[in-house]
Amino acid sequence: MTLHLGAASPAPAGPARDWAVWNGDAAGDHFSPLAQINRQNVSALKLAWKFDTGEEGGLETNPLIIGGVVYANTPTRKVVALDAVTGKLLWKFDPGVPGEGPVRSVAYWTDGHDRRIFSSANNVLFALDAADGKPIAGFGEGGRVDLRRDLGRDYQQQSITMTSPGVIYKDLIIVGAREPEDHPAPPGDIRAYDVRTGALRWTFHTIPHPGEFGYDTWPAGAWMTAGAANNWAGMALDAERGIVYAPTGSAVTDWYGADRVGDDLFSDTLLALNAETGERIWHFQGVHHDLWDRDFPAPPVLFTVTSGGRRVDAVAQTTKSGYVFLFDRASGKPLFPIVEARYPASTVPGEVASPTQPLPTLPLPFTRQGVTEDILTTRTPEAHAWAVQKFRSYAGGDGGQFVPPQLGKLLVNLPGANGGGEWGGPAVDPTTGILYVNANETPRLTGLTLPPPPGSPGEKVYQQRCSACHGLNRAGFPPDLPSLVGVGRRLTDQQIEDLVHQGKRRMPPFTDIREDQLKTLIRYLKTSPTDKKPGPATRMAATSSEPLDSDPNAKGASIYKSSKGWFADPEGYPAIVPPWGTLSAIDMNTGQYLWKIPLGFYPELAAKGLPDTGTLNYGGPLVTGGGIVFIAATAFDRKFRAFDSRTGQLLWSTDLPMPGLATPATYMVDGKQYVIIATGGEGDGSQFKGATGGVYEAFVLP
């Protein structure tokens, strides 16, 4: 359904510059040459307009601005068109797909006459008329394509949702998707569709089929049952060369891989594909046989550097691990040496960890690598004593972030599965080759457990589909993942059913869970948790790849599940010394750092004399020709900041209505430069200690 309040028409005559592609342009560099707002005057920025979507749920959107119109998402995946000067609503498209969830932008295509906006809601890709928001009747089925189809499996049993927009190349839209992180999950195929008709034009199998390159890095036949290795983070495009660069995530399950022994190409891989045909040109796998949820979390960035005395067109990939990999974008040759570092073997039955993992020698990592006793929190003597006691009870110590998970004992990982680098990705000034990346430095706990035999069909469904995030005891891992204890008292059966099928905020939709399975799950969630002990780990283990209506335990197999959470002190703060979030500037010509600063603060700690600790941060930076790095991203202080790109000096900040966990955009209309940010918080509402919503704010010089 589209609400029409006035057609979106081109901007009035006068100087203008658009932000027509997610993250600025096809290169994904988060850069604009606009310099009207600069180091000298940025402190005078004022609010120009504000648009409140009137919804809850949070925003992660980097909006597009084309011809004086802002195209943006709402928390419930609607699309709005706003006047870029006033913020007035021009039209609104309601996809009619219930639920909430992160949508990070839309995509735009034009042939000079036809103008289309491509948006997504769960498993559906929509093509809209940019002028009025009406679906394009000739695209797919009435303006929509169901992305569960064309995967080579029963489409009704697939759970898939788009969070990042597709890449436009000529008359193609190339897409990936977010998928479950446990079995069953669809394969992470990268696909290209015709922008006019919605017809599938090509597919790249990230889990190779027989006869395809990489097939021997999986067990025989894995392509029929394995899942994920998907591009959820988005892509970048070299249109001149016709190459699309697609980073992928881990295969399921994230923490245990006895059913996928091998390197598992093309999981955790930067793929360079022929954008016309989908054929592989080159690839680099950043994590072999991932057991740590180390997805490549953001699109790569394309720019030019000086390497070996010559100018080289390069591609840079940031990682959750806190590293930046830099390659010649045509050949895939590393521009800084990469070494294969050795790590210990897994002690978990059935698991075979890779003996090595690739690490770049330059730049040095932008986050600390591992936790040692000497960096445990000193926030208070009590917190320090608690952290020391806990730390000594954990396994791993300073073994590094690629020590395999252990059974029945927790490891401390730094960076954690939330980064290091995250989905916001870096900004690059293409005129200098300087890369700006924000990062988390919040340690996480990981481990494996063998769940007890399920006492009911509902508990079996819960163990297979829910326990990876909410724990075997349903207590969750606050503040990241909420507790489900007592959820049957807080929500009605229908509300739980809607939540499972539609998704909500960070939780993806599970459209493949059958009605009878869902009813047994709801009955189980309404019972009181018990303190069952894990079963004996004496048998060869298998992952939960069996269908829900089979009984893997009856076949003599054991199913290992992840145990995880934050390594946080009793008051909920990271149990290491700050910084807990950072912003770094790295010269990618040399691999050397220009500066690194804490990003964000906790207001209550600042009031006690602990400012600039840094915080969890999501969303990326924007860098401009005016010498400014704009970034919001911080989860707890609600600030939007402007830094001097040369020095990291803070030049301006303002309070936002909610955390701005998104990447800013900038544009010029009628000779005025604007900077816009989506605000709305994220998570379950409690994660960042505030309400969630959806508000866009645009700033301009007086």
Residue 515, pLDDT > 70, answer: yes
pTM for the structure as a whole: 0.90
Residue 302 pairs with which residues in a beta bridge?
Answer: 315
Return the biggest CA–CA distance within the chain: 74
On the question of pLDDT at 550 being above 60, the answer is no
Q: Among residues of the chain, what percentage have pLDDT more than 70? A: 90
Lowest mean pLDDT among 72-81, 277-286, 403-412: 403-412
Domain ranges for the chain, please list them.
147-154+169-364, 447-563
What pLDDT, on the 0 to 100 scale, is given for residue 12?
39
**Could you tell me what percent of the chain has a pLDDT over 90?**
74
Mean pLDDT across 378-395: 95
Secondary structure (DSSP) of 448-475: EE-PPPPSSHHHHHHHHHTHHHH-TTS-
- What is residue 398's predicted lDDT score, i.e. its pLDDT? 57
| Local confidence band at 1 (pLDDT 50, 70, 90 cut-offs) | low
Average pLDDT estimate for 317-338:
98
Confidence at residue 167, expressed as pLDDT on a 0 to 100 scale: 98
Q: Are 391 and 423 in contact (CB under 8 A)?
A: no
pLDDT grade, residue 555 (50/70/90)?
very low
pLDDT tier, 408 (very low <50, low <70, confident <90, very high otherwise): confident
Cis peptide bond prior to 363, omega within 30° of 0: yes
Residue 452 has pLDDT above 90, yes or no: no
Q: Do residues 537 and 405 make contact, with C-beta atoms less than 8 angstroms apart?
A: no
Residue reference for tokens 């054991």:
558
Q: Tokens standing for 25? A: 């342009």
pLDDT tier at 557 (50, 70, 90 boundaries)?
A: very low
Report whether pLDDT(10) > 80. Answer: no
Strands 31-32 and 622-624: parallel
pLDDT at 280: 98
Q: Is the model's pLDDT at 150 over the cut of 50? A: yes
pLDDT for res 484 = 83
Residue 30 has what pLDDT? 98
pLDDT band (50, 70, 90) for residue 532 = low
| Average pLDDT rounded to a whole number, residues 206-229 | 97
**Which is higher by pLDDT, 155 or 266?**
266
What tens digit of pLDDT does each residue of 49-99 get? 999 999 998 999 999 999 999 999 999 999 999 999 999 999 999 999 887
pLDDT above 50 for 337: yes
Query: What's the CA gap between 142 and 133, in Å, rounded?
Result: 13
Bridge partners (DSSP) of residue 82 are 70, 89
Closest residue by Cα to residue 245 from 194, 202, 301, 295: 301
More confident residue, 491 or 614: 614
Tens digits of residue pLDDT in 162-174: 999 999 999 999 9
Q: Per-residue pLDDT averaged across 451-477, rounded?
A: 75
| 677: β partners | 697
Does the pLDDT at position 8 exceed 90? Answer: no
The two structure tokens encoding residue 303: 């720019």
Question: Which tens digit of pLDDT belongs to each residue from 99-149?
Answer: 778 899 999 999 999 999 999 999 999 999 999 999 999 999 999 999 999
What value does the mean pLDDT of the chain take? 89
DSSP notation for 519-580: HHHHHHHTSPP--PPPPP--S-B--S-S-TTS-GGGGT-B--EEEEEE-B-TTSSBSBPSPS
- pLDDT above 80 for 682: no
- Smallest CA-to-CA distance from 40 within 667, 694, 627, 600 is with 627
pLDDT value, residue 324? 98
Which of the pair, 537 or 192, is modelled with greater confidence? 192
549 falls in which pLDDT band (50, 70, 90)? very low
For 179-211, the pLDDT digits (tens) are 988 888 999 999 999 999 999 999 999 999 999
Among the residue ranges 235-249, 358-372, 535-549, the one predicted with the least confidence is 535-549
pLDDT of res. 554: 28
pLDDT (0 to 100) of residue 480: 59
Same fold, 147-154+169-364 and 447-563: no
- Domain at 147-154+169-364, CATH class: mainly beta
Environment class of 654 (CB within 10 Å of its CB; exposed 0-12, middle 13-18, buried 19+): middle
**Which residue pairs from 493-498 have beta carbons closer than 8 angstroms and sit at least 24 positions apart in sequence?**
493/522, 496/522, 496/525, 497/522, 498/98, 498/99
Please name the fold of domain 447-563: Cytochrome Bc1 Complex; Chain D, domain 2 (1.10.760)
* Choice between 398 and 589, residue whose per-residue pLDDT is larger: 589
